[in-house]
Amino acid sequence: MKSIDEYKKIVITLKKKVKLLQQEQQDLKRLQQEKVYVYSDRYTAIKQLKKAAKKLGLTTEMFFRAADTKSMEIVTTKRLGEILKKVARLHENYVQELLNIFDVENSGSITKDEYYQTLEMYQINEEYGNNFNRNSYSKFIYFLKREQYDGIIGFIKMDPNKLGYITREMFVAFTQSLNNWQQYLTLREIYSAFQYMDISENDQISREEYLQAFEKLPALPQIQQIQEQKVNILRKVLLIKGVKLSSFVLELMLSIQKPELGITIEVFYNVAKQYLDRKETLAFFKLMDHQQKGSIDYDEIMSFYYMTMSYGDSFEIVFTILARKLQAMNKSIEKYLKQEQIYAETQLTLDQFNQIAQDLFNTPNYEISAKLFEAMDLDNSGIVSAQEIITYTNESLKNYSLLLRQKTQTQTTMLFEDFDSTQIEIANLDIEEQLLFELKKYKTTFSDKDRFENFQYIFTNEISCLVVCLQIVENLKLNKQKYWEDPEFGSNKLDPYGANSIFRIENLPVKGWPDPKDLCWQRISEICNDWVFMDENGANANDVIQSHYLGDCWLISALTIIACNDQYLIDQNDISKGLYPKLFHFLSKYGIIVIKFNKMFRDVYVVIDDRFCTYNNKLLFAECRSEREWWVQIIEKAYAKLHTCYESLTSGDISQALFDCTGIPCTRYVIDENDHTKDPQEKKQQLLNLFQVGKQTNALMGCSAHGTGQVLLNGEETGLYRGHAYSILHYFHLKDAQSRIHKLIVLRNPWGFGEWKLKWSDYSIEMSENFQLIQAYFNEEIQRCEQNGIEPPEQYNLGDDGIFIMNFKSFLNIFNNLFMSVNLDEKWSVMRIYDSFTKEHLGTPNKNERSQAQYPYNNPRYTIRINHPFPNKKIYIALSQKDGRLDRFAKYPYEGKLVKIIMCLFQLQQNETELTKFQKPVLDSKLLSGRRDIDMEVFSVQNATYVLIPSAHKPNITGDYVISVFFDFPPNGIIIESSTEKQFLLQPKIFSSLMQNPTLLKLFNQL
């Protein structure tokens, strides 16, 4: 049942169509009055093109070359149209029809192959033989046989109404109705196969014409068999001569002198004569030049390689050929894919990859596409990202350029040698310069996407960050300077006191803070001679001390929690991971430090110098307890720069800081005493379960209490404060001397002092009676963790160090918020959805029926189809908005900057195809929340169809967001479809690190 609004839209559309038809009738009548001939089919336009070429003494191919002035082998429809009007002098109507014929996909551009194949299709090509139609027809018949539609059966299926003929439209519709047609044919080949049979050229094929074409077929397999025999003979020749196929093809590529001409017979002969005799050379050339035009283009090189490659041959050379082809076209791989509406984040299944592989890699069949796909699908996920294609192609282009440069320098053949970029003569460069030299092969240009927001020295990828840092080092050496000064953060000529980096408003210092004129920015080496990021014992929770000037306890508490696992700070196994990746450590000797954060599930690299703000020779902001350690100061400064200034860090919640510092999604649980919807004992047990799960998964945890001021419990001072964030370091059960079980929690105040004063506090009766038992427990736990390779907890000690113990009951009486990271193990994958709320979205529904009916159609909607035999399947869904803290002048909790959102997940019944109205969800993100990050709990799913709908609290709200759908089963078991036609990014489990390059690793090891 359609709504009134939907019927109104249909009426408006119909009126527009009627108006358009009336305009067309008027135009037709005007043309007839002006005695302009109006043709009725495409053949007339084709004949006019051939006639125009003959009249001018040209070939039909020359019109394309006239349009392709830069020899890019691709032209826009606009440019070709201009040539057809001005040079061929064709009427605008003919030109438009011709452009429609050439640009089958309606992409706005036409490649040389598309143009030439179309000429051949209509048999008006003049520069080489007419093989395309015949080959297309051969592939079509081969496909029909596979589908059991041999001979007359195929015609009967195409002509169900027994008309005695089939039209072009009937032929195309039937072919595309068959399963897997895209594995064997392109749309252009379907048209071409029809053209081969359309002898009378009237866009119809009679029964007799269809059978007549089919009778010619026996000769085609025979021709194909002869071709295969030739390939086998030549493959054996290569084997006997000891020539490696990929090296032979690479040598051909390196010998091309004019890229736009491809491989001429001269180039081919000069390479092949070293290994083959004249007869073999000529046979090879003829086999590669299957269009018989006297030169071999890049697609023909690929075809030759596919034909002659044997088991074990690599596909790497295919990317080299592709890179060279794109270079000759003066087009980047990114631009080429974008033309096909494929972007870096696009994820491709095998079937989708096969469609683009036919054009991009000239794969002759589905089998070759599958092998190429398998070579790229390193993690066997059944998915290949477009970014992988881009990376492989760009790396191949760089390697090809280096090979070409080396070949020019040495003039020696590399036919039987493997390329090693370290052979290039860069011995006179120091290590940093060599590293920059190598990295520039990966990063030649910069765009706005490489930098975060409007910062000059905050980046969105490690390559850009590293290249710029090395350029800074290069400039320091040229100018004979020792250390770098960050022009974006800290004191500089325009801001001598660095006030702009401390306060939101430069001339309006925070009350109670020092006057900017009394501040000084000093390098670490001026404060401590033998400083380290972390000492040999690693970080620990008691390192962290918050400044009494800055209210960033939420960040400092998060750092206290992170300190319990050094891997979050510096990953010892991967130089690209951790808050302070080892990749950037060598830069510290130049006063350059790089810290990696996460924003909306994307890495952000913040570059800072090693100057820190001091007041009376003491650090103004957070610090480590040890004077030698600087990890707290460094991370806080980088985080302040990311959010424009230190003052912007005032107020927040632990979960956001944990998320930004680790990239792990975090959730908040509200502990509400006034919530009477659940049994108190049930709520208590649920919370106990959370603590137990947190301990088992090594989750990061913190807590806070609502309000402001000191917390009083039954009139007693507790030593704790409302609106203040505390770290949760450990949870355990303790059995006392009377065999009573106590549920205990270890917490920490980020100030480094100020502790809980009641039951189980350091100097309480409970502690004095059980202190030895507590120490014994921690000794055993530390030993157990070390034996199992787990980060152990720290031993508990008495004293006012900010670390204290509470029992579970006291915890419930004090705290209202529990923050906890959602640690998902390696079997989980994630799919990202990047989308936006627009003014057209209506938001959450009202109670009236109309609003609930509009809800699924007037909000972003994502259909999640799950179908996999994997048992006990689970999903976890999280949503993040752009951080309001990035706005310098906004204040926490950023009302007006963040959208109040709720997510609902609905399950469709077996007889339902779509969600038609609001109904009870199977899962939701609880209440409407204006928090930056919201989520839904881990949920067990069935093989079913689900609908996910995020909605704002009211209509006309705009804002970007990213949804992450995590799942613990193989990626081929889930399909997500969007109502907004957005791209989905399947985050790979294995990242292709830049440091897999052996040359780069060698240089890093020397630093």
Active site positions, annotated: 553, 724, 749
Q: Tokens at residue 762, please?
A: 């350091």
CB atoms closer than 10 angstroms to residue 834: 16
Cβ–Cβ under 8 Å, residues 102 and 43? no
Rounded CA-CA distance 639/649 in Å is 8
What DSSP line would sit under 799-834, residue for residue? SSSSEEEEEHHHHHHH--EEEEE----TT-EEEEEE
Q: CB–CB of 524/631 below 8 Å?
A: no
Taking each helix axis as running N to C, give the angle between helix 245-254 and helix 386-410, from 0 to 180 degrees, rounded to the nearest 10: 70
Q: What CA–CA distances, in Å, run from 972 to 349, 908, 942, 986? A: 9, 20, 15, 11
Q: CA-to-CA distance for 688 and 745, rounded, in angstroms? A: 11
For β-strands 74-76 and 984-987, DSSP reports them as: unpaired
- Which residue spans within 288-327 are E strands per DSSP? 295-296
Q: Is the peptide bond before 496 cis (omega within 30 degrees of 0)?
A: no
Q: Which residues of 926-946 are buried (b: 16+ CB within 10 A; e: fewer)?
A: eebbbbbbbbbebeebeeebb
> Comparing C-alpha atoms, which of 841, 842, 934, 931 is closest to residue 895?
931
Q: What gap in Å lies between CA 904 and CA 948, rounded to an integer? A: 6
Question: 3-state DSSP: the chain helix, strand, coil percent, rounded to 5?
Answer: 45, 15, 40
Owner of token pair 């004569």: 273
**Rg of the Cα trace of the chain?**
35
Distance CA 39, CA 285 (A): 44
CB 562 within 8 A of CB 748: no
Cα distances from 45 to residues 35, 84, 99, 196, 409, in angstroms, run 18, 11, 10, 18, 53
Residue 919 exposure: Cα atoms within 13 Å on the Cβ side: 11
Q: Are 362 and 290 in contact (CB under 8 A)?
A: no
Is 93 exposed, middle or buried, given 0-12, 13-18 or 19+ CB atoms closer than 10 A? middle
Q: In terms of Cα–Cα distance, which of 607, 648, 726, 701 is closest to 883? A: 648
Return the DSSP state at 514.
Answer: P
Number of helices and strands (H, E) in the chain? Answer: 33, 34
Report the alpha-carbon distance of residue 358 to residue 361 in Å, rounded.
6
Task: Please tell me the total number of residues recorded for the chain in this structure.
Answer: 1007
Q: Virtual CA dihedral for 793, 795, 798, 804, nearest 10 degrees?
A: 10
**Using the 8-state DSSP alphabet, how is residue 932 labeled?**
S
Contact 906, 947 (CB under 8 A): yes
Q: Which two tokens stand for residue 112?
A: 């040389």
Q: What are phi and psi of 43, to 5 degrees?
A: -65, -35
CA distance 355 to 340: 11
Tokens representing 870 are 């994997």
Can you read off the two tokens belonging to residue 774?
């507590």
Burial class for 573, CB neighbours closer than 10 Å (0-12, 13-18, 19+): exposed
Cα separation, 728 vs 50, in Å, equals 81
- Residue 725, classed as helix, strand or coil, is strand
